[in-house]
Amino acid sequence: MQITFLGTSSMVPTKERNQTAVFLSYGSEGILFDCGEGTQRQFKIAGISLTKVTKVLISHWHGDHVLGLPGLIQTLSSMEYTGKLEIYGPEGSKKRMEKMFEAFVFDKRLNFAVKEVKHGVFFENDEFQLESCPLEHGIETLGYAFIEKGKRKIDLKRVKKMRIPIGPLLGNIQQGKSIEHDGRKVQPDEVSFIEKGKKVAYITDTVLCENCCKLAENADLLICEATYSSKLMDKGEEYGHMTARQAAQLANKSNVSRLILIHFSARYKNTQELEEDARNIFDNSICAKDFMKADL
């Protein structure tokens, strides 16, 4: 799993930072969290083909999180995009997408589907699931979590000790099936174990609330907004945003392993103050930069 930070600014882009967009690559899936203005150009600079995008998860419909959608769709429609783009967002997303197609003229129609989600698991396959929780930002806003499912791993020492040959028998074990070997039944848990999957939480444009904790709980990586430093906490509450300190408090409370901050106000020429704010509470905190990558 690799995460690329395509845009880390908030409402106003800067010379160094584009508007919000985070891309998670996992096997054949490419999940784009938000799509701020200029996101398709960020993909090109990062060296990632737009055709890698399979799902777009919209947190809310403020312009700095969706203004890149028309360009993304237009470009994909002109490319050899053979899949069906899945666009997820809060209630009202279907109507807003319809209005977008009324406003812009697209020469070709992309194969896509818009799905409105509320609370809980909204996508699941054999490898991972996606969850959402409503946040508090003044309009319909969602936070998201990507949760990888646990995978069964073979205990090679135990297999060797029991003299189970490599081949179909171990294949059955890996599928969670029991096998017959040396005249006895061998259960999967005797020679294998479940390795816990990774969890990534994405939280932006909200005040600190209980659903933030639900999404972030036990995350291996929390990607969280830090629009302001703690000096501007009152401003954050007024506009429905978190401070770097609050993001760190969330990480601490929710048993998060790693915190990466995004969505910085353009007032900050660098993020040193924000990072220090967070590290005073949660040491494993860093501020993202555009095109930074994180592997899990």
Of 218, 175, 226, nearest in space to 199 by CA: 218
Instruction: Quickly count: other Cβ atoms within 10 Å of residue 5's Cβ.
Output: 24
Q: Tell me, yes or no, if 189 is annotated catalytic.
A: no
Of 287, 212, 202, nearest in space to 246 by CA: 212
What tokens were used for 145? 């979590």
Sequence-distant (6+) residues with CB within 8 A of 275 are: 244, 261, 285, 286, 287
Catalytic residue among 64, 205, 277, 290: 64
What residues pair up with 130 in beta bridges, in sequence order?
Answer: 123, 146
The CA distance from 35 to 70, in Å, is: 10
Of 168, 243, 184, 188, nearest in space to 251 by CA: 243
**Would you please indicate which residues are annotated as catalytic (active-site) residues?**
64
